Each structure stands twice: as C-alpha cells, then as structure tokens.
Amino acid sequence: MNLEPAIILENLHKSFRGGRDEILRGLDLEFPRGKLTYILGPSGTGKSVTLKHILGLLDPDQGVVKVFGTDLSTLSVREKIRFREKFGMVFQNSALFDDMTVFENVAFPLREHTRMTEAEIEREVVSVLKTLGMNGPYDKFPNEISGGMRKRVGIARAIVRKPEILLYDEPTTGLDPYTRITVDELIEKIKTDLKLTSVVISHDIPSALRLADQIVFLDQGRVAFRGGPAEFVKSVHPAIRRFLDADLVSFRALSMAGTGGRP
C-alpha cells in the first residue's frame, strides 16, 4: 500500500525584506513516511527556511505546505501550536536548560504539555534515556557532562513525547570526530528502532551518505537533486559537484596535516 508522503511542499516561495531577499523560489518536495531525509546545500540556500515552513513557523508567500494531508494554511494560530505536537526538534547545540538536570531537561516537555503523574514521567524519562545509552546518573547538569551526552539528552527530550516527525538542525556541526560518530549512531538507532519520519538539515556529507534514505540538495531556493546517496555522488549538477569537491579538499587537507604535510 502506497501511503501519501508525510510532508509535501508545493511551489513554495518565500522572500524577506519586502521581496528583495528571495530565499525559496518554487520549492517542490516530498518526504516519505518513516524515512530519513537529509537536506544539504550551501549556507543561505533555504534549508532552515524550509524547516520553519514545515513547522508552520513561517507562512509561504506562495505555495502549499501539507503535513499528513493537512494544509497548514487552513489552521489557526492555536491549531498550529497544537499541530506542532506531532514534531520533535533536535537543536544544533542541544539547547538544554543550564539550570536543569539531565532528568529535568527530558521531563520538561512532559510536565509542560501532559497531565502525566510524576511516577509516569519518571518511567518515560528513564526509559528513553536508557534507550539512548544513558544509564545514569541523571542528576548532573549540562555543564557536567560530555558533548556526546548532551546530544543524547537533547535527542531524548525531542522524542520523549513520541512525535511522528523528528527534525534535526545541524546535529553534527562543530563536534569532534568521536562525538560526531556518536550522534550518527544515535540518528541511525532512532531511524531503525522508532521508524519516524526524520528530516536533517546539514552540511555533513559523510553522515548523509551513510544514513539517508533520501538526500535533497537545495541550490538558490530550488531542489537541484532528490534521490538516494548513490545517485547523489554521481550527480553532474555544477553546484553539487562544487559542494562535493569542497568537502573532498577539506578531507585531504586534514589528512595532509596529520602526516606533517606529506601526501
């Protein structure tokens, strides 16, 4: 049975500064249910703006955003807020509350948006943290745990309410190689175990090639490519070739540095 895509963007246009700064220029895009999509592209090409349209935080100047068949333009402000309960969001820097413990950070959305008892909240929080490889202690503050652990806590908070769609904003940017691998493994585990519809905004080509069911490449506010990782690396689109070549140059520079400049 072919299910309708979880998210459909049709002819999406968005400009800022009175139309002088055109970001999206007729974006057409579909996100399959239960699949992991990476959105790649240079900075300023519309990745974050696309994500905000999916969440209903921005309204398009033209075009339609549908999530599970619902046209977001038909919802009131209050209905949009309620509709966002279908989403979980993993922020670039985890966005944890510094004055809350690990447990309190993950429990926060349950305390704010549900009527669960404290005993029920404790069961859910401990369960999701253990699923992500954190067996305690949960009374530490964010500045007392490693970067990898902070990422786990941020992801745990995003999935503790069992969303239908999980969004990641640059989840591996600025991380050391070890933590980056850890985050990749967490994304893969969630993809395998929970089978959520997931969307990752990223510049991380290796992660996308390893994890994505679908890669989308944006160029100047339009979709330049949509397909699988194998097809992506073979694309002859000029912007994609520049993007891939720049990543290869960076990798070679790091390799040269590790050998004292010797090839």
Q: What is the dihedral of CA 121, 127, 129, 135, to 10 degrees?
A: 120
State the average pLDDT over residues 53-80: 96
Residue 255 has pLDDT above 60, yes or no: no
Looking at the predicted structure, is the pLDDT value of residue 131 above 50? Answer: yes
How confident is the model over 160-177, as pLDDT tens digits?
Answer: 999 999 999 999 888 888
Q: What is the pLDDT of residue 147?
A: 86
Contacting residues for 178 by C-beta, under 8 A, at least 6 apart: 148
**Crossing angle of helices 147-159 and 102-113, rounded to 10°:** 20
Strand ranges across the sheet with 70-71 = 21-31, 7-16, 62-67, 70-71
Q: Looking at the predicted structure, is the pLDDT value of residue 52 above 60?
A: yes
Q: Which domains does the chain have, with CATH numbers?
A: 7-257 (3.40.50.300)
On whether the CB atoms of residues 64 and 71 are closer than 8 A, the answer is yes
pLDDT at 108: 96
Contact between residue 150 and residue 179 where contact means Cβ atoms under 8 Å apart = no
pLDDT at 27 exceeding the cut of 90: yes
Mean pLDDT of the chain: 90
Q: Give residue-wise pLDDT tens across range 133-163.
A: 899 889 999 999 988 899 999 999 999 999 9
- Please tell me the predicted confidence (pLDDT) of residue 230: 96
Peptide bond into 60 cis (omega under 30): no
| % of the chain beyond a pLDDT of 90 | 76
pTM of the predicted protein model = 0.89
pLDDT tens digits, residue range 92-114?
888 899 999 999 999 999 999 99
